[in-house]
A and B are shown apart, each in its own frame.
Chain A
Amino acid sequence: MTHEPEAYLVERIRDALAHHPDVAELGITVRVTPDMVFLTGDVGTPERRDAVSAVVEPLAGGRAVRNGISVVPLSEDDVEENLG
């Protein structure tokens, strides 16, 4: 077999993202096509978003890595909920 099935590559990438010290994220969605790796989800800092690409690129087997990960906003607002 010359090509790793995409399903296995998805899990190999997810495992790498969970264990890499600069990322440590379990909730990133990974989708692999013959040409691309798509990444979506949320992380806490821009550095972590960039680190995700750095971790995935060596694993992508020449596919383009599309990083669609968002950085969670930390703004305050005045909304509150009254639960009685």
Chain B
Amino acid sequence: MTAKVRVAAVGDVHAGLDSRGCFRPHYEHVAQRADLLLLAGDLTRHGDPEEAAVLVEDIRDVGVPVVAVLGNHDHHADASDRLRRVLAGGGVQVLEGEHAVVDVDGVRVGVAGSKGFGGGFAGACATDFGEPEMKAFIRHTRSIADRLAQNLDALDGEVDVRIALLHYAPVEDTLRGERLEIYPFLGSYLLAEAIDRAGADLVVHGHAHGGAEKGLTPGGIHVRNVAQPVLKRAYHVYCLGGDDGTVRD
């Protein structure tokens, strides 16, 4: 990989009817700073397709491919199919257990996307044991993690850069600042295990508004919590590839 790819990412923008026009001034220049925009879930407040339309209106024609996953808020209205259609109509590619490939001036960027889910982290993780509801909870996370690994595997050898795009957190590092008691509702180590098994160059997630931006999977893959309340700006840009291979803040 020789060329640098600039990935803009943000999550938890929580668009609502009261935020009409708020995003446009901050995203209309994104093409000058990035080659790709990733949205890490919670695009809306309630999962109302009208809220998605507000977001679409503001990021339409931003000039770079936009790839997204949904978050828990986007499922609240039980209208995720309609939400996806609104977003797709505005040029936003929404992934759920799927992957996409974006060509950036000859560099192929693969994005494996999934909402993810909760359950907790190694040593204190819920187990698929006991009541049907408990088993269903963890099996849901495990199923999502397995699908994520399959999608990253499918991209292996086909692209120059692989990114895992999630809403829920795969590691505890990026939850620092959140209350320990809610960690199981914020993410699962099963996601990190799947990513480490399949390999990736970057993991991006949101959901943890009170967490920290930077972390690593146990296998050493960079994880970035791009929840807007964490970034405290419209988005952040991460550069992959290029010449020096060093981390620069």
Which B residues, 225 to 249, have Cβ-Cβ distances below 8 Å to chain A? 228-229, 232-242, 244-249
- Which B positions have Cβ atoms within 8 angstroms of A? 4, 6, 13-16, 18-19, 22-23, 26, 29, 33, 45-46, 73, 76, 201-202, 209-210, 222, 228-229, 232-242, 244-249
Chain A residues lying within 8 Å of B228, measured Cβ to Cβ, are 44, 72, 74
Does the CB pair A81–B29 fall under 8 Å?
Answer: no
A24-B45, A48-B18 known; A75+B233 contact, CB < 8 A: yes
5 tightest A-B contacts by CB? A84-B245, A42-B229, A80-B237, A24-B45, A82-B248
Whether B29 contacts A76 by the Cβ 8 Å rule is yes
Interchain CB contact under 8 A, A83 and B238: yes
Evaluate contact between A75 and B26: CB separation under 8 angstroms. yes
Using known A-B contacts A24-B46, A44-B16, A75-B234, determine if residue A83 contacts B229 with beta carbons closer than 8 Å. no
Give me the interface of A with B, judged by CB distance under 8 Å: 21-22, 24, 27, 41-45, 47-48, 72-84
Cross-interface CB contact of B239 among A27, A47, A72, A81, cutoff 8 Å: A81
Within the complex, the shortest CB–CB distance from A41 to chain B, in Å, comes to 7
Instruction: Report whether A81 and B209 are in contact in the complex, using a CB–CB cutoff of 8 Å.
Output: no
Q: Are A81 and B236 in contact (CB under 8 A)?
A: yes
- Report whether A80 and B244 are in contact in the complex, using a CB–CB cutoff of 8 Å: no
Q: How far is the CB of A11 from chain B (nearest CB, A)?
A: 13
B209, A27: Cβ atoms closer than 8 Å: yes
What is the CB-to-nearest-CB distance from A78 to chain B, in angstroms, rounded to a whole number? Answer: 8
Q: Report which of A48, A74, A78, A84 forms a contact with B234, defined as CB distance below 8 A.
A: A74
The residue on A at minimum CB distance from B214 is A81
Contact check: which of B73, B209, B222 meets A83 at CB < 8 Å? B222
Task: Give min CB distance, A17 to chain B, whole Å.
Answer: 12
In the bound complex, CA of A72 to CA of B22 (Å): 12
CB distance from B33 to the nearest CB of A (A): 7
Closest to B179 in A: A29
Residues of A within 8 A of B244 (CB): 82, 84
Q: A73-B233, A80-B33, A83-B238 are in contact. Are A27 and B22 (CB under 8 A)?
A: no
Q: Give, as a whole number of angstroms, the nearest-CB distance from B149 to chain A.
A: 21
Is B19 a contact of A81 with CB atoms below 8 Å?
no
12 A-B contacts (beta carbon < 8 Å)? A21-B46, A22-B18, A27-B210, A27-B229, A45-B18, A47-B18, A76-B29, A79-B237, A80-B237, A81-B239, A82-B244, A84-B240
Closest chain-A Cβ to B201's Cβ sits at a distance in Å of: 7
